[in-house]
């Protein structure tokens, strides 16, 4: 199995060669308020938590699926949305989500959005979280 650091290095070099930027523009973000409203209305996009299993189990966004950032390239079939529909990715602060977003874009996902402020801002705002049973 490829060591994780080597995999990350390969991803970063690939991204640079393909001209993919992890942070592209403000339209590549969704606010916590907008995402919460969509969750509550039952019209949320797919939400992917790319943190560790322990972080996910301790609390995640309602309806989020867990897919560690280092596994995104190999497990895109676990993303609960077709490649033409929006997908929201988040981690604790942003770096892992950046790698996951780039991996999803390289895999053909067209609308990959960051959660503004990631999980740290969601928790700070006191927004609802789910915990693993």
Q: Hey, which residues are catalytic here? A: 91
Alpha-carbon dihedral angle through residues 2, 7, 105, 24, given to the nearest 10 degrees: 170
The count of residues in the chain is: 133
- Using DSSP, state whether 3 is helix, strand or coil: coil
**Alpha-carbon distances, residue 49 vs 61, 72, 114 (angstroms):** 8, 11, 11
Alpha carbons 115 and 124: distance in angstroms, whole number: 14
């Amino acid at each position: 199995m490829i060591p994780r650091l080597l995999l990350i290095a390969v991803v970063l070099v690939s991204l640079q060669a393909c001209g993919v930027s992890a942070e592209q523009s403000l339209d590549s973000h969704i606010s916590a308020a907008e995402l919460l409203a969509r969750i509550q209305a039952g019209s949320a996009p797919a939400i992917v938590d790319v943190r560790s299993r322990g972080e996910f189990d301790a609390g995640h966004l309602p309806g989020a699926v867990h897919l560690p950032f280092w596994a995104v390239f190999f497990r895109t079939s676990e993303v609960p949305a077709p490649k033409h529909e929006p997908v929201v990715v988040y981690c604790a602060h942003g770096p892992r989500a950046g790698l996951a977003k780039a991996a999803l874009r390289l895999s053909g996902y067209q609308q990959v959005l960051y959660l503004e402020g990631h999980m740290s801002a969601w928790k700070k705002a006191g927004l609802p979280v789910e915990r693993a049973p």
